[in-house]
Amino acid sequence: MAVAIVEATSGIEDLTLVGIRRGGVALSARIADEIAQAEGTAPPVGTVDISLYRDDAATALPNPKIGPTDIPFDVDGRHVVLVDDVLQSGRTVRAAIECLQDHGRPARVWLAVLCDRGGRELPIAPDFVGRTIEMDRQSRLDVWIDAAGPDRVVLTEGE
């Protein structure tokens, strides 16, 4: 994905990566490391917490654990790649875009996901995909990306 991102965004000069908490944070760091190995320098990396931007925040988050949004660079005019581990309904990405817009106006927002499991509720499609996995809505897909241990993707089929 790192090579595809650099090629699509015409280099790293205006490229930034923003990981969506929780699953996209480690993945965005991993992609930045891969870009640094290929290009000699890593793009700036930030994070967004979309908890308060969710359209179901009032009902789904009675006691939300809100993490920090940390975008330590200007997004205006930059190519921002939002990074997440799993894409399903598109609601998390919609919330992340809304959060990102509170920090400025990027030239373009791209979407990179490790796993696309289908099941969209919104017209959102990834620009970069590690793997597409067809699964039913009752099944669960968990991804762990950890520098200290092996990466894991676990599919738990629904009843």
pLDDT at 20 over 60: yes
Structure tokens at 31: 């992609």
The confidence score (pLDDT) of residue 159 equals 59
Amino acid, res. 10:
S
Total number of domains in the chain: 1
Q: Are the beta carbons of 8 and 110 closer than 8 angstroms?
A: yes
Q: What is the pLDDT of residues 27-66, one digit of tens each?
A: 999 999 999 999 999 999 999 999 888 776 555 555 666 7
pLDDT at 104 over 70: yes
Q: Are the beta carbons of 86 and 141 closer than 8 angstroms?
A: yes
β-pairing verdict for 15-20 and 140-144:
unpaired
The confidence score (pLDDT) of residue 139 equals 86
What is the rounded average pLDDT for all residues in the chain?
89
Q: Print the domain residue range for 108.
A: 2-156
pTM of the model: 0.88
The model's confidence at residue 95, banded by pLDDT at 50, 70 and 90, is very high
Q: 94 φ, ψ to 5°?
A: -60, -45
The confidence score (pLDDT) of residue 106 equals 97
Q: Are the beta carbons of 83 and 24 closer than 8 angstroms?
A: yes
Which of 68-72, 83-87, 131-135 has maximum average pLDDT?
A: 83-87
Mean pLDDT of 109-113: 98
Q: What is the 3-state secondary structure (H, E, C) of 50-109?
A: CHHHCCCHHHHCCCCCCCCCECCCCCCCCEEEEEEEEECCCHHHHHHHHHHHCCCCCCEE
Residues 6 or more apart from 134 whose CB is under 8 A from it?
A: 117, 118
Q: Which CATH number is 11's domain given?
A: 3.40.50.2020
